[in-house]
Amino acid sequence: MLHLYFHIPFCRQRCAYCDFVTYAGMENHLDAYVAALCTELTMLAVEHAACLALESHPSQIAKNTIFFGGGTPSILSLQQIERILAAAAEFIALEEAEISLEVNPGTLLGGTKALDYFQGLKALGVNRLSLGIQSLDDSLLKLLGRIHTVAEAKACFAAAHQAGFTNVNGDFLFGLPGQQIASWAQTLETLVLWGFEHLSLYSLTLEAETPLAQRIEQGVLALPSEDETATMYEMALAYLAAAGYENYEISNWAKKNASQNNENLLLACNHNLAYWLNQNYLGLGAGAHGQIFPKRYSNQVKITEYLANLQAGQRPVAEEIEIKASERFGETVFLGLRLTKGLTFAHFYERCGVDMRTIYGIMIGQLEDKGLLKITPTAVRLTPRGRMLGNQVFAQFV
Ligand code: SF4
């Protein structure tokens, strides 16, 4: 399977908590950037054709995937997205692929802009949307530096369904400054009422030197306690399970596909499954990463350098490293353990060419004794306690 990630590092303004590779006020480079993405894809696909062909063996991932992430992909015009997809169509049959695009509701304000945009995306073959909403509290949205209100986000979500999208994710944060348990409970209720097919709920990670981190360091704002944040996560687990969502990854929930006869078909994000299953993927764009075993690369982060490299006929690689076997073992385990069903021994063998119990038998036994892992004849997975202490478990394998 082939997995393509297009990084769109353009934002209207920077949010107060964000440390992603993204830039405000550089939209004048968008056309050149789109052309550069197409050039980079051709170069990469030709260079790694043999490696990528190896990925065509049967996989736990149902589809080829294309993911437009950011930054703010919804800053792209439909024509720009069409151009990128036309380049991708040289390597992937678009009609059978999962094609996801991240949307910031603040880029689609006014009149029927959201509906027109979503109808246009659908016509281009995009079949999954991920709405970055983050909170259902206008004062928190303001504090986070988001460029939309709750009402605008709700209208955007409604437009996505109206345009015919049946797989819409909502990205939300919890553990936000001043956030109360009661208001989080209300948020969960509202998310279920809106009817998202997929939810990604992450506890806020405070990134050093962001404006939000500085305000917290200065004592202007305060985060909920660790216990309160853990309670918010447990509430999400309980509430969303009761509402019919399956928590298939630590921070991700999906509904079953109502339009399919196969009741077991979850509307999970296949593209992210590729990361968690430690598959090869091609990352394109400024600051993007890619992995084609046994190598991993990261691109130039500055848009101007990225463009200059491609305009000079060179790949815009900042760093390329050889992934050691030991790193691949560790990464396969800690990524795979993020999945609720756990990591099968068969999958570890397929990715690493060795039995996981030979490498980690003693360690996983010790973690089972501590109540953090459950070992079955076919797999190993986190226990509920292990999920709460996930970082402690993952650290053992890094
Ligand atoms: S919209 Fe997303 S990528 Fe852009 S600044 Fe905000 S959090 Fe960062």
- Tell me: the pLDDT tens digits for 293-345? 899 999 999 999 999 999 999 999 999 999 999 999 999 999 999 999 999 99
CA distance from start to end of the chain:
26
Mean pLDDT of the chain: 94
192 with 84, same domain: the answer is yes
Give 249's strand partners: 252, 339
Cβ proximity of 269 and 246 under 8 Å = no
What's the pTM value of the predicted model, to 2 decimals?
0.95
Query: Please, what is the Cα angle at 88 between 38 and 50, to 5 degrees?
Result: 95
60 with 153, same domain: the answer is yes
Distance CA 30, CA 34 (A): 6
Q: What is the enclosing helix (H) or strand (E) of 102?
A: strand 98-103
pLDDT of the residue at 1: 87
In Å, the largest CA–CA distance within the chain is 61
The reply to whether 290 falls in a domain is no
22 compared with 259, residue with greater pLDDT: 22
205 with 122, same domain: the answer is yes
Closest CA to 230 of 181, 183, 270: 181
261 with 112, same domain: the answer is yes
| Number of domains composing the chain | 2
Estimate the share of the chain in helix, then strand, then coil, as percent rounded to the nearest 5: 45, 20, 35
DSSP track, 258-327: TTSS-TT-B---HHHHHHHTT--BEEESTT-EEEETTEEEEE-SSHHHHHHHHHTT---EEEEEEPPHHH
Of 240, 257, 275, which residue constitutes the final position of a domain? 275
The reply to whether 292 falls in a domain is no
**CATH at residue 92:** 3.20.20.70
Sheet harboring 317-322: ordered strands across?
289-292, 295-299, 317-322
The reply to whether 293 falls in a domain is no
161 with 25, same domain: the answer is yes
* pLDDT at residue 262 greater than cutoff 70: no
The mean per-residue pLDDT over the stretch 72-98 comes to 96
Strand, coil or helix: 199: strand
- For ligand 1, the distance from its centroid to the CA atom of residue 25, given in whole angstroms, is 13
DSSP annotation of 101: E
Q: Counting atoms of ligand 1 from 1, which one is nearest the CA of 106?
A: 1
The mean per-residue pLDDT over the stretch 114-143 comes to 98
Query: Please, what is the Cα angle at 280 between 277 and 283, to 5 degrees?
Result: 115
pLDDT of the residue at 40: 97
At residue 216 the predicted structure's pLDDT band, cuts being 50, 70 and 90, is very high
> What digits encode the pLDDT tens for the residues 1-35?
899 999 999 999 999 999 999 999 999 999 999 99
111 with 198, same domain: the answer is yes
Q: Cα 34 vs. chain centroid, distance in angstroms?
A: 21
201: left (phi over 0), alpha (psi -120 to 50) or beta: beta
Task: Point out the least confidently predicted range of 39-48, 304-313, 360-369.
Answer: 39-48
pLDDT of the residue at 260: 61
The length of the chain in residues reads 398
Cβ neighbors of 281 (< 8 A, separation 6 or more) are: 3, 4, 5, 274, 275, 290, 291
Name residue, tokens 């119990």. Answer: 357
* pLDDT at residue 56 greater than cutoff 80: no
> Percent of the chain at pLDDT above 90?
89
58 with 166, same domain: the answer is yes
pLDDT of the residue at 138: 98
The reply to whether 285 falls in a domain is no
**CATH at residue 342:** 1.10.10.10
What stretches of 48-180 show up as alpha helix (H) in DSSP? 49-54, 78-88, 113-124, 138-144, 150-162
The reply to whether 175 falls in a domain is yes
Choice from 7, 15, 17 to test ligand 1 binding pocket (greatest atom count within 8 A of CB):
15
223 with 117, same domain: the answer is yes
Of 246, 275, 304, which residue constitutes the final position of a domain? 275
The reply to whether 136 falls in a domain is yes
Distance CA 215, CA 211 (A): 6
Cβ proximity of 249 and 276 under 8 Å = yes
The reply to whether 294 falls in a domain is no
In degrees rounded to 5, what are phi and psi of residue 137? -130, 115
Range of the domain at 7: 3-275
Tokens of 192: 């279920």
240 with 346, same domain: the answer is no
Of 275, 302, 335, which residue constitutes the final position of a domain? 275
Choice from 14, 26, 107, 172 to test ligand 1 binding pocket (greatest atom count within 8 A of CB):
14
How far CA 195 is from CA of 134, 168, 243, in Å, comes to: 16, 9, 10
The reply to whether 284 falls in a domain is no
193 with 267, same domain: the answer is yes
**Closest C-alpha to ligand 1, atom 5:** 14
pLDDT of the residue at 52: 63
Name residue, tokens 């051709």. Answer: 42
Task: Point out the least confidently predicted range of 40-54, 76-90, 96-110, 218-232.
Answer: 40-54
Q: Counting atoms of ligand 1 from 1, which one is nearest the CA of 13?
A: 5
271 with 330, same domain: the answer is no
Cβ proximity of 318 and 42 under 8 Å = no
How far CA 14 is from CA of 21, 147, 224, 225, 398, in Å, comes to: 10, 9, 23, 26, 31
202 with 262, same domain: the answer is yes
How far CA 253 is from CA of 13, 150, 165, in Å, comes to: 29, 21, 18
At residue 398 the predicted structure's pLDDT band, cuts being 50, 70 and 90, is confident
At residue 96 the predicted structure's pLDDT band, cuts being 50, 70 and 90, is very high
Does the Cβ of 75 fall within 6 Å of ligand 1? no
Report which residue type is found at 335.
Answer: L
Does the Cβ of 105 fall within 6 Å of ligand 1? no
